Structure 1
Amino acid sequence: MLPIFHFILALLVIFALAALVSYDRKKIRFQYIALMIIIELAITWFLLNSSYGLASIQSIATGFEKLMKFAGEGTNFVFGNMNKQGLAFVFINVLCPIIFISALIGILQHFKILPWIIRIIGTTLSKVNGMGKLESFNAVSSLLLGQSENFIAYKSILSKQSPRRMYTMAATAMSTVSMSIVGAYMTMLEPKYVVLALILNLFSTFIILSIINPYRPHEEPEPELNDMHESQTFFEMLGDYILAGFRVAMIVAAMLIGFIALIALLNAIFSSLFGLSFQDVMGYLFYPLAWIIGIPAHDALQVGSIMATKLVSNEFVAMLEVQKIASQLEPRSLGILSVFLVSFANFASIGIVAGAIKGVSEEQGNVVSRFGFRLVYGATLVSLLSAAVVGAIL
């Protein structure tokens, strides 16, 4: 099947799945969806096929590589030569740098550089997605600040938002990733696909939300946004962000330990009962979706298994699985899968997002908890859409 027809089929399937859970199909505005699809295709072609685009991605990747080296200086001081000896690779090379990146984000936040970036990009996004500035600002701030810290920026207005707007805000937080862990992703996936996924997910999120949760901006009054800036001294802020980065690293470490152990247990149980591992079974279930987004049929079973692993555990567990089979996959399959994996679309994120909101507003946290399945469902469709766009260009 020609890539363009395959891409059209993928769009039809993804949009149909989104429409199944739409709150109001009559309010879907297809002109905004079409515009954002065109923008996604243009960005993907530019970044993957033009010399300027490839140079831009390489510059970003090189920048993160340098940051990871700086982070390594702090890690080596604490853990000695464990890094040089190849010991505890995931903890030292993947998780510990999160602390350093978190500190940098705190500095940019303290000097009001991040709020300025959020407003510039958010305002631009709101011009093309047909939604309000709050939704667009929230998508950008989720990317820059992270799931947990993001909603603190909106604490003065969060309790006043409608359930429909709260769904949109929670969905954007789940469909993007925090900039503090992007460097960690780049140690496990090809950096250019990580960068591309960050950009595509911003648009894919609003495309899927335009179908699942359509409403007009005037139906949801635009609140006055605060300046997303906490009143702290520089060193108070720095300490808070360093500790926040440490908490994120430890949470990810705990989830890796728990989920990998549980998946090993499930694999053993399924193998003894059915002769197939749990991941093999999930691979068959996700096989059609893998093929739909452009994965060649001979790779679709393995890719489907990793896609399912991400959904039931988290993206880090899935990325570690990718490293085991990367040499067996076609470059096209690896690129599409890499973009799919770069998001927080998994069941564990429900508790993280709802807990972060509940810390600011108990009532709204309960509202978001009730959206649980629909949030994961929508965020998974966002990942599928971004991956399908890449499949159309590769």
Structure 2
Amino acid sequence: MKHLCLWIMLLISMISTTPHLSLAQQTNPVQPNSQTTIQTQAPDQAAGEQLSATTNANILLSQTPGHGFSLTTILRGFAGMLVLLAIGWIFSKDRRNIPWKTVGVGLAFQVVLAIGVLYVPFIRSGFEFFGKIFVKILDFTNVGSQFLFGSLVDSSTFGSIFAFQILPTIIFFSALTSLLFYWGIIQRVVWAMAWVFTRLLKLSGAESLSVAGNIFLGQTESPLMIKAYLAKMNNSEMMLVMTGGMATLAGGVLAAYIGMLGGNDPVLRLEFAKHLLTASVMAAPAAVIFSKMLVPNTEAVNRDVEVSKDKIGSNLLDAITNGTSEGLKLAVNVAGMLLAFLALIAMINYILGFIGSLTHLNAIIETNTDGRFNELSLQFLLGYLFAPIMWLIGICSQDIMLVGRLLGEKLILTEFIGYISLSDLKGAGAFLEQKSIIMATYILCGFANFASIGIQIGGIGALAPGKRVVLSRLGMYALLAGTLASLMSATIIGMILG
């Protein structure tokens, strides 16, 4: 660990005088609109303003200069990292056997990757290249959406854009993923990444494949690549399979979030594509760190890396059809989930607002939050609860309740709700610093929420029925590890942004 810290400090010192080059360094403050109502009940107006005003200085992140490194931001970043590691240590099932070398290598992997994406031209260009692919996928999806829905696609309201542009992206990307899987392209990429993880992080072959697969696939699709090994996995290996699913995002929803946050602005789409891709890749080593801290491995493991040979379809057309069907199911599930959750939030906020009005809490809240929250609401309570954690990881004091609210929505509801709220808040100019928007993008990256525990027990349990009890016991640990992984990525990126 001592040598690791020296190497990290050396890397930071080497780039501390480097000029800022991209969105990542945009931390200039934005004056919040004190009249903005930050609620989930009516996202249409705020989102519409976001999509129609993408040239506004509050939204065009790429035009905002950065503050640069300072000793304060570096020390605060290290302090945040230590706090997150301390939480992992406190909740560990076996503190004596925590693999500190693996933890150190994983942290170094994250730091080097973050520095590379933000400051090293060829690495940044590589992520931008893949980001452009995702942006192009959005354009291709729009062609199909235009044919089916016509002028509805051009609506300026968020609801129409979400229904006729964002959800179709999930369907198309699912079909494309199935096609790439049928051709064996995804398996080869995953195998290469798994080989690296096995050597660097000392994981078993099956663990590495699962973690690498989660960068591209969902939390129930990735285990399909190792289904022959699931029944034989020990608790530590199963924990990593679950944590990897919690800490990362599937490609289909990743493309949807790019469209959601970037709106119709191609520059913003590319910038958010780069950050979301970086967040998903950084989440892999972070998942390893906290999974192995919470449930260390004390048994010998098989380090051979072998991908399942199963095909996703009998031929090319069958693969595309299967992928389209799965994508349609996911899109309908997402739409139904959002309808139910948003209605539930509106009902809860109505009750809380009524209580706040009777007790005069609403006026107190509006006064003490400078209008960012105008009444007692679920968002206010979540922001208040998670604000201390947000401050510890480097969010500016003025934005900690807003970002804390987003983390709470992700945990209790889903990351989809969190990204919708982030899109609304960003469009309304509610954040004081653009750095908060970037860090929130990383915090929300991942399926770490209570519903995912049930999804994993059902999905992975169907592949390995004998592991259902283990999955149930590890569910809360995986949720904690996945959350800590996202927070660690955000802490590191915030520290490097300065």
Same topology, TM > 0.5: yes
Which of 371, 379, 392 is residue 474 of structure 2 equivalent to? 371
Three-state SS of the structure 1 residue aligned to 2:228 is coil
Report the AA paired with residue 136 of structure 1: S
Matched, 1:183 2:255: yes
Q: Go from structure 1 to structure 2 and tell me whether the alpha carbon gap of 1:224 and 1:319 turns closer, same or farther (over 3 Å shift).
A: closer
Q: Corresponding residue for 2:183?
A: 111
Change (3 A) 1:157 1:133: closer
CA contact (8 A) 2:191 2:305 kept: no
**Cα offset for 1:339?**
0.8
Q: Deviations over 1:39-88 (max 9, x none)?
A: 21121112112333433333222221111111111222222221023461
Is residue 355 from structure 1 mapped to residue 355 from structure 2 by the alignment? no
1:23 equivalent in alignment to 2:124: no
The answer on 1:279 being equivalent to 2:379 is yes
**Counterpart mapping for 1:313-392 below 5 A:** 313-326=413-426, 327-329=429-431, 330-392=433-495
Partner of 1:40: 110
Q: Deviations over 1:177-222 (max 9, x none)?
A: 1112211111133222212101110111111122112115x52445
| Corresponding residue to 2:149 among 70, 79, 99 | 79
Q: Give the match's secondary structure for 1:79.
A: helix
TM-score by length of 2: 0.75
Q: Report which stretch shifted further, 304-313 or 86-95.
A: 86-95
CA 1:155–1:29 in 2, change beyond 3 Å: closer, same or farther? closer
**Residue number among 199, 207, 215 corresponding to 2:297 in the alignment:** 215
Q: 1:366 to 1:234 in 2, by over 3 A?
A: farther
Listed as ranges, the gaps of 5+ residues in structure 2 are 1-70, 262-271, 362-375
Letter matched to residue 285 of structure 1: L
Gap regions ≥5 residues in structure 1: none
Q: CA RMSD in A?
A: 1.8
Q: Which amino acid aligns with 2:236?
A: R
Larger mean Cα displacement after TM superposition, 15-24 or 141-150: 141-150
**In the aligned structure 2, how far is the partner of 1:54 from the partner of 1:224?**
29
Change (3 A) 1:363 1:269: farther
Judge which range, 137-146 or 285-294, deviates more. 137-146
Q: Matches of residues 178-327 of structure 1 in structure 2 within 5 Å?
A: 178-189=250-261, 190-216=272-298, 219-221=300-302, 225-230=306-311, 232-274=314-356, 275=361, 276-326=376-426, 327=429
CA 1:151/1:31 → structure 2, altered by over 3 Å: closer, same or farther?
closer
Displacement of 1:140: 1.3
Larger helix fraction of residues: 1
AA aligned to 1:28 is I
* TM-aligned CA distance change 1:312 to 1:222, over 3 Å: same
What is the CA deviation profile of residues 278-305 of structure 1, one whole-angstrom value per residue up to 9, with x for unaligned ones?
1101111100111111100011111111
Give the partner amino acid of 2:258.
Answer: M
Which structure has the larger Rg over C-alpha atoms? Answer: 2
Offset of residue 127 of structure 1: 1.5
* Offset of residue 310 of structure 1: 1.0
SS at match of 1:23: coil
Measured against aligned partners, the alpha-carbon deviations of 1:324-351 in whole angstroms (never above 9, x if no partner) come to 2212211111111111111111111112
Q: Contact between 2:411 and 2:450, CA under 8 Å: does it hold in 1?
A: yes
Per-residue CA shift, 1:255-276, capped at 9, x if unaligned?
1111111112222222222441
Q: 1:257 to 1:238 in 2, by over 3 A?
A: same
Q: Give, in whole Å, the separation in 2 of the partners of 1:365 and 1:238.
A: 31
- Give the conservation status (yes or no) of the 8 Å contact 1:138–1:172: yes
Letter in 1 for 2:296: P
Of 318-327 and 225-234, the range deviating more from structure 2: 225-234
C-alpha separation in 1, matches of 2:316 and 2:489: 38
Q: Take 1:117 and 1:60, find their aligned partners in 2: how far apart are those partners? A: 14
- In the superposition, the TM-score normalised over structure 1's length comes to 0.94
Q: 1:51 matched to which residue of 2?
A: 121
Cα deviation, 1:201-244, whole Å, max 9, x if unaligned, reads 0111111122112115x524457845343262222222111101
Q: Residues of 2 paired with 1:312 and 1:30: CA distance?
A: 31
Task: Map residues 93-172 of structure 1 onto 2, 5 A cutoff.
Answer: 93-172=165-244
Identity rate, percent: 26
Q: Is the 8 A contact 1:157 1:223 kept in 2?
A: no
Shift of 1:163: 2.9
Q: Does the 8 Å CA contact 1:271/1:278 hold for their aligned counterparts?
A: no
Distance in 1 (CA, whole Å) between partners of 2:274 and 2:236 is 34
Query: How far off its partner does 1:352 sit?
Result: 1.5
Amino acid at match of 2:330: V
Equivalent in the alignment of 1:7: 77
Q: Secondary structure of 2:153's match?
A: coil
- Report the residue type matching 1:337 in the other structure: A
- Distance in 2, Cα, partners of 1:35 & 1:309: 31
- For residue 62 of structure 1, what is the aligned residue in structure 2? 132
Q: 1:143 touches 1:179 (CA, 8 Å); kept in 2?
A: yes
246-255 or 269-278: bigger deviation: 269-278
Is residue 195–residue 305 contact of structure 2 (8 Å, CA) maintained in 1?
no
Cα deviation code 1:65-113 (max 9, x no counterpart): 1111111112222222210234611122211111111111111111111
Kept in 2: contact 1:315–1:344 (CA 8 A)? yes
In structure 1, what is the Cα distance between the partners aligned to 2:241 and 2:180? Answer: 23
